[in-house]
Chain A
Amino acid sequence: MQAFNYKFQQLEPLKSFKRVPVPEMYVPGHRTCAGCGPALNYRLVAKAAGKETIFIGPTGCMYVANSSYLCTPYAVSWIHAQITNGGAVASGIEAAFKVAARKGRNTGVFPNIIVMAGDGGSVDIGLQAMSGMMYRNHKVLFICYDNESYANTGIQTSPTTPYGAKTTFTPPGKEIPEGKVLFPKDPPQLVIGGHPAVKYVATTTIAHPLDLMNKVRKALSQPGPTFLHMLATCPKGWLFPEHLTKEMARLAVETGMWTLYEWENGTYKYTNVPKKYKPVNEYMKHQGRFAHLKPEHIAKMQAFVDEKIKNVKQAIAVAAPVPTARQKA
């Protein structure tokens, strides 16, 4: 494998909120919904990455809602990509910067190149391009902000939509009482499973903002492709009141619906593992997209989550996470 021998930033982890860089790279003034989880993700990612950054924005909420109309909230360079090709456009940008560095046209530090793709743009219509980029060892951070639907087009199911979720393509009805029958794809596992060049994969939520920012900085400090799976709670799609945007992310981790971990060199490192998992209904009961489910459907979800967290319980949780100022029991 060719080594990446261009000068790039090593971003130190942030130890507290007060140490977080002040300048906003995702500035206020965008048309995202009030309480938008993906928007908060974007803001934290952009803050963590800093100004030596180029974003690639495949079509989705974080394209349309952010850039309506003819203006954007990105204080760093950004380019629109098709929902199909985030990974490919990023590959071309990375290659161009490499050649420019070799030819002496760019003497500065190699930029952070970050794809901010939704779940569809990462593992559905965008899967091919994402995988191609991971395979080719480009120094690009691919972020999947997962709001568990094609949200921008009015909430349609995507491969990460949970079992039992109501969307406009999976409406519950007499014939199909759950609404969504299929269980979701697992994006980090897709990446980890078959891409030998990938350097670092991690999951994050907005309820753990320092952890999120540090994972971004760690990924950007790698000499090759990296992947972050970010839980991006969506009040409009999941049908919960918008002030609970961070609360939903917290509950996702506390119920096992979402697991926080890092993967590097074949090793998993779990953080924020609950001592005792709350039942999944504690999470689902707040969300209108699950309101139609019967006890047998919730039980199915619980069984699915129990299976997933079996592996976590066996792993050794390593370093204590950076404590947040408030941690709900």
Chain B
Amino acid sequence: MAKELIMTGCRAAAEGAKAAEVEVICSFPIRPYTAIMMELAKMVADGELNAEFIHGEGEHAQLSVVLGAAASGARAYTGSSGVGVTYAMEIYSPMAGGRYPAQMAIADRTLDPPGDFGSEHTDAMCTRDQGWLLGWADSPQEVYDNTLINYRVGEDHRVMLPQMVCQEGYFVSHIPDKVILGDQSQVKKFLPPYRPIGPLSTTKPVSHGPQIRPDQGAPMDAMRAAVFLDVPKVIEEATADFNRIFGRNYDPFVDQYKLADAEIAFFIMGAHANTCRKAVDRLRKQGVKAGMARLRWVRPWPTHQLANALGHVKAIGVVETSTSYGGAMRGGNLIHELRASLYDLDQRPLVTSFMAGLGGETIWPADFDYMAKVLTEMVKEKKTKRYVYWIGM
């Protein structure tokens, strides 16, 4: 029976991993994702989950352990936050290029210096060029759902890529909300067992990763890029199946809220979308035709889907909760790819960005009011005056 409970995003991630019957888990503590591992440790100790729970000596080791486990045919799971995510950077490309479809749960966190436990997308966003699947949830429910969807997509033989399932540190990881857990028959219907390709074995010996010549490097890169041409289709199939089996209603790539007739829109990722939806409702009551597009997948970036969803909007405000110092807009990093997605439209929306929620700050309704005011002025004057506005500064 599907169970409805109140739980944090951390607990939801652990429940997702348990439902997926992960077999090798590698832990290392760092705020705010640690609770995911604490929950899993208890599940293993109580015999609820038949898995090896390995105490990694650091985040770099965590990723290395799950690489070895996935290469040997086990469904593997790990996670981290903040500088832990960047410490493991060396291993991301070997995992993606080696096609080891393990999953990493990230409760995001501002990067040092100095210590800041607050949420920011920057940590996982730093890894976006390494070849992983990457996306954000906006609620504990979506964390649980994305855990299952990502294993399904990542382990599909047309994909075979590792996945980062991200949630806002604190806002999602620590604030409890309603979560409907699937029952095992639903999970089994949706998520088949992991079938490795050419795993390490003593009966069929294989060599994983011999040195290649420089002229073999380009084909290796090209083949890795080619996979991402096939991923969107797999995501669409998986999301449709998930919706059907679990009774949800996810748009595969872009969560659209009152967007169809919007003149101004917020382009946002993660849990601050919850505040944003309320802001959109309030603006609509005031007669402002506002809407919201929430990005669910950073990789693969849904270029055409975004162009189609946002092409009619007159002014878009990208809500950036990550930093890209020295970047083209001198702000965050969502705006670059959004502008690129819209570039070839006949009528290009005006696009600006708002740095908000950095360091773990709340984005207040008043902040969305301010953003709407800026966007409305842009529409009136028919121009983008600035690439970026730093909320409160």
Using CB atoms and an 8 Å cutoff, list the residues of chain A in contact with chain B: 51-54, 56, 63-64, 67-72, 74-82, 84-85, 88-93, 95-100, 102-103, 105, 108, 111, 128-129, 131-132, 135-136
Contacts and interface: CB of A to CB of B under 8 A. Distances in A.
B208 A80 contact: yes
A70 B210 contact: yes
Ranked 8 nearest A-B pairs via Cβ: A92-B68, A80-B209, A67-B210, A132-B57, A88-B64, A96-B74, A96-B72, A85-B64
B83 interface: no
Given A89-B71, A96-B74, 20 more contacts: A52-B202, A53-B202, A54-B200, A67-B207, A67-B209, A69-B211, A77-B206, A82-B90, A85-B61, A85-B64, A85-B91, A88-B57, A88-B65, A89-B67, A96-B70, A96-B73, A98-B52, A99-B50, A128-B61, A135-B57
Contacts of B67: 89, 92
B56 interface: yes
A92 B200 contact: no
A92 B54 contact: yes
Chain B interface main SS type: mixed
B203 A96 contact: no
A21 to B, nearest CB: 15
Given A69-B213, A70-B210, A131 B57 contact: yes
Interface centre among B54, B71, B207, B212 (most CB of A within 10 A): B207
B200 A84 contact: no
Contacts of A82: 64, 90-91, 94
Interface in B181-214: 200-203, 205-213
A80 B64 CA distance: 11
Contacts of A92: 24, 26, 54, 64-72, 74, 76
B216 interface: yes
A108 B51 CA distance: 20
Contact of A93 (B23, B51, B69, B211): B69
- Give the interface size class of chain B: 35 or more
Contacts of A67: 207, 209-211
Interface string B71-96: 11110100000000000001100100
B31 interface: no
B67 to A, nearest CB: 6
Contact of B65 (A89, A97, A131): A89
A52 B203 CA distance: 8
A256 B73 CA distance: 46
A105 B73 CA distance: 10
B365 interface: no
A153 to B, nearest CB: 13
Contact of A95 (B50, B52, B61): B52
B359 interface: no
B174 interface: no
A142 to B, nearest CB: 14
B205 A76 contact: yes
Contacts of B202: 51-54, 76-77, 108, 111
B224 interface: no
Interface string B12-42: 0000000000011010000000000000000
Contact of A99 (B26, B52, B68, B207): B52
B89 to A, nearest CB: 11
A80 B72 CA distance: 13
Contacts of B55: 136
B128 interface: no
Nearest to A129: B61
A96 B64 contact: no
Contacts of A70: 210-213, 216
10 contacts: A70-B211, A71-B210, A74-B207, A77-B200, A88-B61, A90-B68, A91-B61, A96-B52, A132-B61, A135-B57
